[in-house]
Amino acid sequence: MEQNQRDFRNVHSDSEQMPMRVNVPSGQRQEPSEQSPVHNYSDDSPKIRRMSDSTRAREIERIKKKNKKSVSLTSPLEEQTYEKERPEGDYMFTQIHGARRAQKRRKVKRTPDLTAAGTETIHLDLKDVVKVKKSTDPNPVQPIDIKPAPRAQKTSIDLSNTAVLDPNEIDVSIKRSKEEADELNRKRREFLDKMELSSVADIRSDIDELRSAMMFRIFSLIAVFLISTLIAAGGYLGIRWVQDIPPMLNAIMQFLLAMAAVVVCTPVLKNGLRRLLSLQADTDSLAAVAFLSCTAVTVVNAVFSVIKAETFPCFLPCAILTLLLHSVGKVLIISRELTNLHLATTRENCCGMFIVEDEQRADSLARGVLGDFPILASLRRTDSLTDFRKYTYSADLADRFCRMTAPLITLGAIAASVLLTILKAKNVGYGLELFSMLAVAASSASITFVVNLPLFNATRSMARNGALMLGYQSVDDFYDTNALMIDASTLFPGRSAYLAGMKLFSNVNTDNTLRAAASLAAHAGSVIGSVFSDVFENGDTRLFPVENYVYEDSLGLCGWIHSQRVLLGSRDLMTAHNIEGLPSRAREAEMVGPNQEAVYLSVSGNLSAIFLVELRADRSVKFWTRQCVRHNICLILRSVDPMITLNRVETTFEIPNGMLKIIPARMHKEYDKETAPVEHMSASMACTGSFASAAQLIIGAKVLRRAATLGVFVQAVGILLGIGLVLLEAVLGLGLTPAWMLIFQGVMSVMTLMSVNIHKTY
């Protein structure tokens, strides 16, 4: 008993005297080490530290002393955890940076508002589902070949009600040949295709109808604009026959031209006024106010020319130019929709892009590479895209700018015209003329190009890579993305993984060995899953079913094929599972060439083969990884290949340290939950799943945001300059004619086009 007590005291002595725990790899034994002398203490009471003196308590006290007001009442200190990092690599506490930003993002309205062109669509209430992958019949017709029964004795059947038939006496032979089954399946597929394409056909007919109406409007406005400009500015340009037109006839001609423009632009005027009065103004509102004010001036000129033989300068050509440029901007939207619809219906592989909305999951997946709140984008495979047209005609930055400025400009123009008319003791016609000048100067003739032109150019460029950016809602959803989560196979597509050589060991069936390795790699989604396709005999690429698959972090793959355990991974994986016969490290170094990795294969506990795999960087992928680095987009990889390490990927694609993360195996389930395929998906951006298309979409959203912001700034400056010129004209009489106003609008339009094309939209 005394001996046992002494042993117990020795084991529970002071922690500083206890030996350090050592993690011993599987298959090895720890060498005996010299034990430190054990001190016996007379005090056998356990050494328990009070909770008030714990690390957690000290941390809370330090935070309280540092800033007592910084702690939110909804998140008390006691509910927070540690800030330091565990030895396993998990953070004991990570304060989510940008929490306010995340909260603001959650409040973003995902359902897009329609822009001005969207309100003119006729069949907008259609079921908006665009199939991107042809459906397959779940129950195809199979050929039937039933051996007929022996010839019955009776060949005639009495169909009277009183007849009783013996089934065995009826001669029945049912057959369906393979050709007949194929014909029935073909007809069923055609029926399914017609059902799927019905929605697309309705969308196409709606687009064609809208485009025809817009082209008719553009050509009509061009004719009206030329005639109106000739009549309004001909006198200032010294055209003799224009100067000889009587004032009343001039006013009547301008009024008739205004009515012609009203006929072709009724939807614009109706929508602009309605939205302005409901405080939901858009780009049509400023154009409608400018045009209607100029039309009112033509009416006043016609009346005053009869009563007082007096007319006022008419800025109707400037208002018509605004309507014309607005219509051209809407045609860009229609052309963009046609391009995206054609791409969506011709590509079978489609992945919708989305933002990981679960904040904690996004923070866990991106932890270690971001200092800000993670805005994590990823891809999810889908069979059809919903809300296609809503995203295409979503309201853009120009519409939001007009929503804020149009009421202010309208009220300010009314106040300024009334005040100056009273101060200068002028009549109503002068006040209306001044109001029309202010409305025209602030109409932002080229504001529809601010977003639609760079978005149109980006759509054409992205379509070459199989990427879809439907509308400006895409920019709103993804312009602040700072991380992209993808599978490692996306970085190494096609022939990026190359089988440089292999070594097979004795008593191994070559075909079965390669097929087992290919089956396990393909089942796990490994990048080396396609390297075996060229070495199968007779081109037979059939794979074995895999059961109980598991990925061991940083080691490799393990699965069961035909009741045999198959291991595919690094040398450490073989060592951990006690696989014998491994070559020495010196021998392995002789076999492995530059940029190559040795991948071991074990079947049923025996070393079967060694594959030398070389990873190459695809040119397109390398270009877009550089662009991601340039735009501060981190990459989050899901990988099941031990040869894909941070160092190798950073070296291969020239990614700076700290902008790349490979998520651990324990988080693969979280990745799978976020990227699980769905049948229908409402996504404002989609692509084929390649890294180039995904990166181009995110970078394009960032570039378009900057271009649109700069364009809106130029338009704001143009509005201020135009209002300033009109006010100077009213006070000082600078001689601001319709011709000079047209020149001003042209200059501002050119500056707008230059500003939105400064940034390359890829």
What is the pLDDT at residue 182? 67
C-alpha 363/C-alpha 384 separation (Å) is 29
The mean predicted confidence, pLDDT, of the chain is 77
What is the pLDDT at residue 323? 93
- DSSP annotation of 108: S
Percentage of the chain exceeding pLDDT 90: 23
Spatial contact of 97 and 359, defined as CB atoms under 8 Å apart: no
Question: Which residue, chain included where needed, has tokens 């971001």?
Answer: 370
E-strand ranges in 136-291 read 144-145, 175-176
* Other Cβ atoms closer than 10 A to 199: 17
What is the pLDDT at residue 408? 93
What is the pLDDT at residue 254? 84
What is the pLDDT at residue 311? 61
- Give the residue, 9 or 604, on which the prediction is more confident: 604
Please state whether beta strands 685-687 and 556-561 pair in parallel, antiparallel, or not at all (unpaired).
unpaired
Q: H or E segment at 235?
A: helix 178-237
- Give the residue, 303 or 745, on which the prediction is more confident: 745
Q: List, for residues 617-676, the tens digit of each pLDDT value.
A: 889 999 999 999 999 899 999 999 888 888 889 888 988 888 899 998 888 989 999 999
Instruction: Find all residues with CB under 8 Å of 82, minimum gap 6, and list them.
Output: 55, 56, 59, 92, 93
Confidence check: pLDDT of 222 > 90:
yes
Residue 628 lies in a domain: no
Q: Which residue, 63, 93, 123, sits at the end of a domain?
A: 93
Spatial contact of 713 and 207, defined as CB atoms under 8 Å apart: no
- Give the residue, 141 or 524, on which the prediction is more confident: 524
The answer to whether residues 222 and 87 belong to one domain is no
Q: List, for residues 586-604, the tens digit of each pLDDT value.
A: 888 888 887 788 889 988 8
Confidence check: pLDDT of 695 > 90:
yes
Spatial contact of 320 and 291, defined as CB atoms under 8 Å apart: yes
Spatial contact of 641 and 526, defined as CB atoms under 8 Å apart: yes
- Pick from 506, 504, 524, 523: which is nearest to 514 by CA? 504
C-alpha 228/C-alpha 298 separation (Å) is 12
Please state whether beta strands 376-386 and 483-487 pair in parallel, antiparallel, or not at all (unpaired).
parallel
Q: What is the mean pLDDT of residues 445-461?
A: 91
What is the pLDDT at residue 109? 46
**Residue-level length of the chain:** 762
What is the pLDDT at residue 218? 93
Give Cα 306 distance to the centre of its chain. Answer: 62
Spatial contact of 450 and 711, defined as CB atoms under 8 Å apart: yes
Max mean pLDDT among 101-105, 184-188, 422-426, 720-724 falls in 720-724
Q: What is the mean pLDDT of residues 154-170?
A: 54
C-alpha 95/C-alpha 73 separation (Å) is 16
Q: What backbone phi and psi angles, to 5 degrees, belong to 686?
A: -150, 160
What is the pLDDT at residue 621? 92
Residue 561 lies in a domain: no
Task: Report the domain count for the chain.
Answer: 2
E-strand ranges in 188-345 read none
Distances (CA, A) of 102 to 72, 105, 108, 369, 396: 16, 5, 10, 18, 22
pLDDT interval class at 209 (50, 70, 90): confident
Confidence check: pLDDT of 710 > 90:
yes
Q: What is the mean pLDDT of residues 375-402?
A: 88
Confidence check: pLDDT of 683 > 80:
yes
- Residue 442: both structure tokens together: 């602030």
Q: What is the mean pLDDT of residues 258-281?
A: 89
Burial 728-758 (b: 16+ CB within 10 A, else e): ebbeeeeebbbbbbbebbeebbebbbebbee
Long-range contacts of 89-97 (CB under 8 A, 24+ apart): 89/664, 91/367, 94/363, 94/367, 96/359, 96/363, 96/373, 97/371, 97/372, 97/373
Burial 18-44 (b: 16+ CB within 10 A, else e): eeeeeeeeeeeeeeeeeeeeeeeeeee
Question: Residue 638's beta-bridge partner residues?
Answer: 487
Spatial contact of 262 and 288, defined as CB atoms under 8 Å apart: no
pLDDT interval class at 45 (50, 70, 90): very low
- DSSP annotation of 112: P
What is the pLDDT at residue 412? 92
Confidence check: pLDDT of 195 > 50:
no
3-state SS of 493-531? CHHHEEEEEEEECCCCCHHHHHHHHHHHHHHHCCCCCCC
Q: What is the mean pLDDT of residues 185-199?
A: 54
Burial 471-496 (b: 16+ CB within 10 A, else e): bbbbbbbbbbbbbbbbbbbbbbbeeb
Residue 645 lies in a domain: no
* Other Cβ atoms closer than 10 A to 392: 30
Q: List, for residues 470-499, the tens digit of each pLDDT value.
A: 889 999 999 989 899 999 989 988 778 888
Taking the whole predicted model, whether its pTM rises above 0.85 is answered as no
C-alpha 696/C-alpha 353 separation (Å) is 12
* Other Cβ atoms closer than 10 A to 2: 6
C-alpha 444/C-alpha 713 separation (Å) is 11
DSSP string, 380-418: EEEEEEESHHHHHTB--HHHHHHHHHHHHHHHHHHHHHH
C-alpha 619/C-alpha 653 separation (Å) is 10
Q: List, for residues 523-579, the tens digit of each pLDDT value.
A: 888 888 877 766 665 556 678 888 888 888 888 899 998 888 999 988 899 999 888
C-alpha 158/C-alpha 161 separation (Å) is 9
Q: What is the mean pLDDT of residues 452-471?
A: 90
DSSP string, 166-181: -GGGS----EE-HHHH
Q: Which residue, 61, 93, 125, sits at the end of a domain?
A: 93
Confidence check: pLDDT of 378 > 90:
yes
Instruction: Find all residues with CB under 8 Å of 733, minimum gap 6, and list them.
Output: none
- Residue 687: both structure tokens together: 């692509």
Q: What is the mean pLDDT of residues 33-61?
A: 50
Give Cα 715 distance to the centre of its chain. Answer: 28
Spatial contact of 586 and 35, defined as CB atoms under 8 Å apart: no
Confidence check: pLDDT of 455 > 70:
yes
Q: What is the mean pLDDT of residues 235-240?
A: 66
Distances (CA, A) of 642 to 502, 576, 665: 18, 14, 11
**H-helix segments, 677-737:** 691-732
- Residue 397: both structure tokens together: 């930055």
C-alpha 388/C-alpha 206 separation (Å) is 13
Q: Which residue, 93, 127, 152, sits at the end of a domain?
A: 93
- Pick from 284, 234, 227: which is nearest to 738 by CA? 234
Spatial contact of 375 and 104, defined as CB atoms under 8 Å apart: no
Largest CA-CA distance found in the chain, in angstroms, rounded: 131
What is the pLDDT at residue 71? 43
Residue 640 lies in a domain: no
Percentage of the chain exceeding pLDDT 70: 70
C-alpha 46/C-alpha 582 separation (Å) is 49
Residue 544 lies in a domain: no
Residue 42 lies in a domain: no
The answer to whether residues 309 and 443 belong to one domain is yes
pLDDT interval class at 19 (50, 70, 90): very low
Q: What is the mean pLDDT of residues 425-443?
A: 87
Residue 375 lies in a domain: yes
* Other Cβ atoms closer than 10 A to 240: 8
Structural domain boundaries enclosing 301: 211-482+687-756
Q: List, for residues 345-376, the tens digit of each pLDDT value.
A: 777 778 999 999 888 888 888 888 876 788 89
Residue 709 lies in a domain: yes
Confidence check: pLDDT of 459 > 70:
yes
What is the pLDDT at residue 244? 72
Q: What is the mean pLDDT of residues 9-37?
A: 43
Q: What is the mean pLDDT of residues 192-200?
A: 52
* Other Cβ atoms closer than 10 A to 251: 25
